[in-house]
């Protein structure tokens, strides 16, 4: 009798399980359902005094605001506030254009039965206003309307003065900053931000304080007020409990300030912290690209060459084309190639606000060229150096070579009588500067370890399991001691007669 091929039982069960999983997956929530669920969580956070529910709502803000439109907002307001005429509901609907309410978002609930819906907490209203702000900022035609809504929301938020609103208030301040920026009136917002920052500092509202400090630094940097930005940093303390996103922005602005102040080592450290704390590259590609543009320029100003693999990153490959050309010019030490690249990509550097920093790289290009010449020649005339590096005169060449020798870039001496430079033997790579490099690396590793320990998160109520286990162990010890005292244990229970 011929053998009959049977389907393996495991494979058949696996396919059946996959089919069951596909059929049992719930459909994704609509934007209206998500807004309703978020308002319920906010009310729960207010009633139980648990801010973690509000933080859970705000974590979905980035994804939700992309799916919101006029119809969704009108339907959500009708669902949250019910059918009756309420002042808050009328005020919110007045900011949206009139239109029909779709029934696709509703969960088979009749709006006529919603006249007795209880009034939501004020935090829910501020959250809906936050969604409306982000929605109005999308279109250029509604940006002026968004600025008016931002003013009204800030006044209402300050009049309510509720501590349970602090987490949402931090997001509101960011939206207000964005509204002023798009309206071209960012300088007019500074008095408002400064007053709010003082209030948040007195109330120990860490999240709002961090957001407002970043808004002020952004305003100062955009108008090239680096001295005022530096004073703000020196007079304020950034909250330790701020979120990673706020810390990333703060380190980015701090790195830009230090780079302008010629403090490249500290600027490099701050930009590294911004890259480490920033969201994933595909989640926030704009911020990721902006930080790396300054990071590449600061590394060049420090005399280092960035890793080539950085320019092959999927998110950075197109954004850093101009900076890659600058890196090649600095690496080869060709002043003519550097000037050509600078004039070619000048518009992009001006747009990225890195032009003034890249102009400083001219001295680095010359130093690199002198280092290459010192490796190739044991003796070279100042006239040849002037020709090879495209300098204006032999006096400039003499000054630059002398400064390079004094700074330790090359080893040699200038023979003024004969007009040439004699190159000496190169350093062996060992000396006091090596210990300084190792010290900086060890300090960076220790700081990275401390920051990682601070960022660790532990499961809630995990200590209770350990307490329960310890309590059980103590009970067993008490029972054992009582049995020993009563004489209920014999030699076999104690492990035989070896004792």
In this structure, is residue 275 part of a structural domain? Answer: no
- Is-contact 334 387, C-beta < 8 A? no
- Is-contact 358 349, C-beta < 8 A? yes
- Is-contact 50 160, C-beta < 8 A? no
β-pairing verdict for 379-381 and 420-423: antiparallel
In this structure, is residue 116 part of a structural domain? Answer: yes
- Is-contact 290 268, C-beta < 8 A? no
β-pairing verdict for 412-415 and 379-381: unpaired
At 328, list the tokens: 């090649």
The CATH number of the domain holding residue 397 is 1.10.10.10
- Is-contact 11 37, C-beta < 8 A? no
Structural domain harbouring 369: 362-423
Return all residues near 255 (Cβ < 8 A) that are at least 6 apart. Answer: 267, 268, 269, 270, 271, 274, 291, 294, 295, 298
In this structure, is residue 169 part of a structural domain? Answer: no
pLDDT score at 160: 83
Phi, psi of 381 (to 5 degrees): -75, 155
Instruction: Output the pTM of the full model.
Output: 0.72
Cα(275)–Cα(264) distance, rounded to whole angstroms?
16
In this structure, is residue 282 part of a structural domain? Answer: no
Domain finish residue from 132, 162, 192: 162
- Strand stretches in 198-310, DSSP E: none
In this structure, is residue 309 part of a structural domain? Answer: no
At 466, list the tokens: 């350990």
For the beta sheet containing 412-415, the strands, ordered from the edge strand earlier in sequence to the opposite edge, are 379-381, 420-423, 412-415
- Is-contact 368 330, C-beta < 8 A? yes
Domain count along the chain: 2
Domain finish residue from 407, 423, 439: 423
Cα(93)–Cα(256) distance, rounded to whole angstroms?
42
In this structure, is residue 328 part of a structural domain? Answer: no
Domain finish residue from 97, 129, 162: 162
Distance of CA 86 to the CA centre of its chain: 40
User: If the chain, 499 residues long, is cut into consecutive pieces of 10 residues, what is the mean pLDDT of each piece?
Assistant: 52 52 63 84 84 83 83 84 78 76 46 59 86 86 85 86 84 88 85 89 86 91 90 89 88 92 88 88 86 91 84 88 88 81 89 89 78 73 73 71 69 71 59 74 87 71 68 80 68 45
Return all residues near 215 (Cβ < 8 A) that are at least 6 apart. Answer: 173, 174, 177, 189, 193
């Amino acid at each position: 009798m011929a053998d009959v091929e049977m389907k393996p039982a495991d494979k058949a069960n696996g396919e059946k399980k996959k089919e069951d999983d596909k059929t049992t997956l719930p459909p994704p929530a609509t934007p209206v359902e998500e807004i309703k669920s978020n308002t319920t969580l906010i009310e729960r956070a207010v009633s139980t005094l648990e801010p973690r529910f509000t933080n859970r709502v705000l974590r979905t803000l980035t994804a939700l605001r992309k799916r919101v439109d006029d119809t969704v907002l009108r339907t959500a307001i009708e669902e949250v506030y019910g059918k009756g005429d309420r002042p808050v509901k009328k005020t919110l609907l007045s900011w949206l254009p009139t239109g029909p309410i779709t029934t696709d978002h509703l969960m088979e609930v009749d709006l006529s039965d919603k006249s007795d819906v209880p009034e939501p907490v004020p935090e829910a209203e501020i959250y809906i206003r936050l969604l409306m702000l982000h929605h109005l900022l999308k279109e250029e035609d509604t940006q002026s309307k968004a600025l008016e809504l931002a003013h009204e929301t800030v006044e209402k938020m300050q009049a309510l003065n509720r501590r349970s609103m602090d987490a949402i208030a931090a997001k509101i301040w960011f939206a207000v900053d964005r509204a002023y920026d798009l309206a071209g009136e960012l300088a007019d917002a500074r008095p408002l931000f400064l007053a709010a920052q003082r209030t948040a500092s007195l109330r120990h509202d860490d999240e709002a304080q961090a957001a407002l400090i970043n808004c002020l630094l952004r305003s100062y940097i955009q108008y090239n007020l680096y001295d005022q930005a530096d004073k703000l940093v020196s007079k304020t303390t950034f909250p330790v409990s701020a979120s990673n996103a706020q810390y990333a922005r703060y380190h980015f602005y701090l790195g830009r300030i230090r780079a302008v102040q010629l403090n490249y080592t500290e600027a490099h450290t701050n930009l590294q912290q911004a890259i480490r704390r920033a969201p994933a590259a595909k989640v926030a590609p704009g911020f990721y690209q902006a930080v790396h543009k300054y990071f590449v320029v600061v590394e060049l100003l420090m005399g280092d060459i960035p890793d080539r693999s950085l320019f092959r990153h999927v998110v950075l490959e197109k954004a850093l084309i101009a900076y890659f050309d600058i890196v090649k010019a600095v690496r080869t030490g060709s002043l003519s190639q550097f000037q050509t690249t600078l004039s070619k990509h000048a518009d992009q550097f001006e747009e990225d606000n890195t032009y003034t920093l890249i102009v400083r790289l001219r001295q680095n290009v010359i130093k690199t060229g002198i280092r290459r010449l010192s490796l190739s020649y044991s003796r070279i005339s100042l006239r040849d150096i002037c020709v090879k590096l495209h300098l204006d005169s032999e006096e400039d060449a003499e000054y630059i070579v002398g400064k390079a020798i004094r700074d330790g870039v090359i080893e040699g001496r200038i023979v003024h009588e004969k007009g040439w430079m004699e190159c000496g033997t190169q350093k062996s790579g060992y000396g006091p500067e090596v210990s300084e490099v190792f010290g900086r690396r060890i300090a960076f590793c220790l700081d990275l370890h401390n920051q990682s320990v601070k960022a660790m998160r532990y499961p809630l109520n995990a200590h209770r399991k350990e307490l329960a286990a310890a309590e059980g162990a103590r009970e067993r010890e008490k029972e054992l001691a009582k049995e020993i005292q009563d004489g209920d244990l014999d030699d076999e229970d104690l492990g035989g007669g070896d004792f």
